[in-house]
Amino acid sequence: MKEIVLDTETTGLSVKDGHRIVELGCIELDNLVPTKNIFHCYLSPDGKKVDPKAFETHGYTDEFLSTKQKFIEIADDFLEFIRDKKIIIHNAEFDIGHLNNELTLAGKQKINNSKVIDTLELARNKFPGSGISLDALCKRFRIDNSKREKH
């Protein structure tokens, strides 16, 4: 069984405000063991400016992103990469909302939620009342993220 661990970075929080994906990263797992297959790209937000709070999170400038591909240019390759695989995401509602918005804008089929495993929901159920952010979970499981500078 193959799975994909997926994360996005965006220009801001809300699709309703026109925010777009600026980074898409996926790692393939085979029975929960990483393979060497990855899918990663920076994306032009197609004219949408990066919100200051989003910049604090990921550090990508409008200038840096302006030279990158648009989502529509990578959509088919992305869909092929995730095809027939479960998708593991922390806070899936956010990422899937943005991905499905991009896919709709590109004229592609949306990702079916039945393919998605949300680790935020798993953590919420497993550790009720405890911190469930990625930082909190790293601390709980003694995962060193001290070298990380941005999200």
CB 128 within 8 A of CB 45: no
Query: Of these residues, 40, 90, 98, 151, which one is catalytic?
Result: 151
Residue 151 annotated as catalytic: yes
**14: number of Cβ within 10 Å:** 13
Reduced to 3 states, what is the DSSP secondary structure of residue 4?
strand
Cα angle 85, 87, 93 (rounded to 5 degrees) comes to: 145
CA angle 132, 138, 143 (to 5 degrees): 165
Active-site positions?
151
